[in-house]
């Protein structure tokens, strides 16, 4: 059984006009895979990510996560899966302003089964794994973009999720910071996690094992990556 099973997935937006965002996508993703979903702006890749992350519902078709369809989860179960089994990294970081690094990373633990007495320990481990322990008491405005994204990754993995969704994680970064963030994401995969990367950049997509290209809501190609980038080291995620 695949971790993610998508069959004839459709998403139609009914705004001023009827806009088909996804038009019958079918694919599976196995546990432990690193998959990049590529496509130009407006191709439907972010819509797909929102459905895969239980942030939106499809109009038609079927999506199974860990063996169950969205309709088989109660609203409470959906929230628990999103918080405990999924980690999210966004282009805009989405960190809380006026809240330091430690408290930003601890946030998902408030909604978990982890004992409050263990929150600091788990948060410190996640922060250490992205080499941000020296910034514990800094607020996002005091950090560079690359540092903010590292904190966002620590927050995404603090509950030890099965899968990490990364939506254009290098989109707001310079090339050096972007490369460092991609090394961390590759390290997440090397440690055994499933990673789904949304990107329009070929360089970042080539860190993945497989690239699904979508255009106008359709799968254009689904291929293994031949010339895969490898980080020089995996020191980030122990």
pLDDT of residue 14: 85
Nearest to 13 by CA among 41, 47, 40: 47
Whether the model pTM is above 0.85:
yes
Q: Which residues of the chain have pLDDT under 50?
A: 231-238
Contacts of 160 (CB under 8 A, 6+ apart): none
Of 229, 230, 212, which Cα lies nearest the Cα of 221? 212
User: Distance between CA 229 and CA 203 in Å, rounded?
Assistant: 8
pLDDT, residue 25, reads: 96
24 vs 220: CA distance, rounded Å: 12
């Amino acid at each position: 059984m695949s971790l993610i099973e998508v069959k004839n997935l459709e998403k139609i937006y009914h705004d001023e006009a009827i806009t088909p965002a996804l038009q019958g996508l079918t694919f599976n993703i196995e546990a432990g895979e690193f998959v990049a979903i590529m496509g130009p702006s407006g191709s439907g890749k972010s819509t797909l990510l929102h459905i895969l992350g239980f942030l939106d519902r499809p109009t038609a078709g079927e999506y199974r996560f860990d063996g169950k369809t969205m309709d088989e989860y109660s609203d409470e179960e959906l929230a628990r899966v999103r918080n405990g089994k999924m980690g999210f990294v966004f282009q805009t970081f989405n960190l809380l302003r006026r809240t330091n690094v430690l408290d930003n990373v601890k946030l998902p633990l408030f909604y978990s089964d982890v004992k409050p007495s263990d929150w600091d320990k788990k948060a410190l481990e996640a922060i250490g794994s992205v080499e941000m322990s020296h910034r514990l008491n800094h607020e996002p405005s005091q950090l560079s973009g690359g540092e903010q994204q590292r904190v966002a990754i620590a927050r995404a993995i603090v509950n030890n999720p099965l899968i990490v969704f990364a939506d254009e994680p290098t989109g707001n970064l310079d090339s050096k910071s972007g490369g460092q963030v991609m090394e961390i994401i590759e390290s997440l995969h090397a440690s055994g996690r499933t990673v789904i990367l949304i990107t329009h950049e070929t360089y970042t997509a080539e860190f993945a094992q497989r690239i699904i290209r979508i255009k106008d809501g359709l799968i254009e190609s689904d291929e293994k990556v031949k010339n895969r980038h490898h980080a020089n080291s995996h020191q980030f995620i122990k």
